[in-house]
């Protein structure tokens, strides 16, 4: 049996906001072998990762995550991020809480899409606290959507096409019906902050001997793998594994072969968590 709990912790500028955090743990007799912290993408929330978290628990993990400021149940203007430095530190807050409960477990930080950028920046800032970095469809290198929208005088109110998320139609339908998901347009300050943070990541140096797992769908039309690779090449150090899943779309954790993808994460975690 896997249980989950939710709570709030201070975050945002000077701790003035409230961040919604969540943890999943197996109630079975076996102790967890590793700690996973999930970092979600733009416009969504950590509740969309319930299957991912429970599956990782079944594979030996205890899992933590939070809703970014302006997302999900966290406070703040919806999807407004004026500086990603603060978001990286929000992630550090939940990592610190997880570490309080599980001091000895090796940590695998797993970020998806925009969360991949945040996780990468976290690894550049706090490499000493991580055993491995797993990135799913990460926004790295360049993101043409940001460049194209910033060039416009007005940001169009064009919602994300749910069909681009997964070959499983239920994933897109659930996304479209999810009231905690942002279905409106990008906000210009957020786009500007994304552009700035991409440049910081590109110039932030590689992660040395920290193991990196890069997961991506070959048919990802939101974050094309060819653009991400330019960022991976800058970020990766001496230990990098890349898995490009044929015909998969943007959310490989929600794809029709999602258990294959999660097995890949678990194998990576087992390797990086092994005593050296």
Active-site positions? 113, 220, 250
Task: Assign residue 15 a region (left: φ > 0; alpha: ψ between -120 and 50; beta: otherwise).
Answer: left
Q: Which residues pair with 135 in a beta bridge?
A: 111, 214
First-to-last alpha carbon distance for the chain, in angstroms, is 31
Q: What gap in Å lies between CA 178 and CA 196, rounded to an integer?
A: 29
Q: What gap in Å lies between CA 50 and CA 240, rounded to an integer?
A: 27
CA torsion sign for 244, 246, 248, 249 is positive
**Among 126, 137, 275, residue whose Cα is nearest residue 210:** 126
On whether the CB atoms of residues 108 and 187 are closer than 8 A, the answer is no
């Amino acid at each position: 049996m896997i249980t989950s709990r939710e709570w709030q912790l201070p975050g945002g500028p000077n701790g003035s906001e409230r961040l919604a955090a969540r943890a999943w743990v197996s109630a079975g007799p076996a102790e967890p072998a590793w700690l996973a912290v999930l970092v979600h993408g733009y416009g969504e929330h950590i509740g969309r990762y319930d299957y991912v978290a429970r599956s990782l628990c079944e594979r030996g993990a205890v899992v933590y995550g939070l809703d970014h400021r302006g997302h999900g149940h966290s406070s703040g203007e919806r999807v407004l991020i004026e500086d990603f430095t603060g978001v990286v530190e929000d992630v550090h807050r939940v990592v610190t809480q997880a570490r309080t409960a599980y001091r000895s477990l090796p940590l695998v930080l797993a970020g998806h899409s925009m969360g991949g950028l945040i996780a990468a920046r976290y690894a550049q800032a706090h490499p000493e606290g991580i055993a491995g970095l797993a990135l799913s469809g990460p926004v790295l290198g360049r993101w043409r959507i940001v460049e194209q929208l910033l060039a416009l005088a007005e940001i169009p109110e064009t919602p994300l096409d749910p069909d681009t998320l997964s070959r499983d139609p239920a994933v897109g339908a659930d996304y479209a019906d999810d009231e905690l998901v942002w279905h409106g347009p990008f906000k210009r300050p957020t786009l500007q902050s994304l552009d700035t943070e991409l440049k910081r990541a590109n110039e932030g140096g590689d992660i040395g001997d920290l193991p990196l797992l890069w997961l991506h769908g070959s048919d990802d039309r939101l974050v094309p793998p060819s653009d991400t690779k330019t960022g991976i090449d800058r970020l990766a150090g001496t230990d990098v594994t890349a898995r490009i899943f044929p015909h998969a779309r943007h959310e490989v954790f929600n794809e029709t072969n999602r258990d294959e993808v999660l097995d890949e994460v678990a194998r990576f975690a087992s390797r990086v968590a092994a005593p050296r």
